[in-house]
Structure 1
């Protein structure tokens, strides 16, 4: 009888141990699934954020390279060395516009909607120059209107660009770029097959098919096109 009881106890112990092991295994699997789900969600978040940032950068660059903004910057540069009262109305309006445009970039960077500092390395000297030109206008607007936050994001991005300029060397000023230029030094003199290049262009003139003789006049045109 005692032996039977011990057998029953042993069987119950084994069953309990297996049950505990099963629960531990289930818990580990659930934890692994949760971790994997979190990693997938994080990856999707990073990918979505990266796409959104790329779209913002593209839109910002489209704005900065638009003819309208190029003309505005030219007018702004025309105010260099002038007292504010000597600015033309066009220079005043253009400088405000350029500063507001760079202020939008400051807002995006300050709030981490754009995270790439290369943007500041690229546009930093321009932003700093515009700040130096526009500082009298900023001070005038702030004092006369009593709003100390006028152009605050523009000032922030200008100061950040200035600080970064002494710490980060632009990629085109680094040794690696010089090595690339050295290795590709024959780019100016290398002979390209203009006929093949022309065939790939969507607006290229029709080229006679393979095996047909190309008239000399057309050959000359294609080489010089």
Structure 2
């Protein structure tokens, strides 16, 4: 590597540069400092004594000096990649916190009863939702839709519906048991919301087709 050409202990120098990047120092700034005084980061290879210039140690020092601009250039590109990586990591943490902060609305007693009925119907019919899911009271359907939207925001669209792996990790440990107990119900709730939404789309299309027929 370039570092090996410049410094006697390249691993130590690379470790020092990594530490500086991790502390938030700009790669450009470190690269400029290395260009100005590479020896400040570690002992350089070879010797710059006048009597050694024509010897192997002198040639080694000359090669070290010539390699410094390339090391600085590599560090600059590494720094931008490192910054991008850090930024992506930061964004992921922000997004995770945002999701964790999404509150799931609680259901009214009537909506809870309706959901329990749907869960029992789904169990007895082999996990398929009965058509009664779409004939629910309008207020209950609205409550279901609000919970479903919050679930999508919290866990990702359809994550509950697909029973994605690792959902439990997106819930605080103190809520793990409650979430596990609720997961099946939440899945049925989302199925009911999706079914209701599909029925509305179909009804809307039919209405348009009929309207077009009347227009002609």
TM-score, normalising length: structure 2: 0.39
TM-score, normalising length: structure 1: 0.38
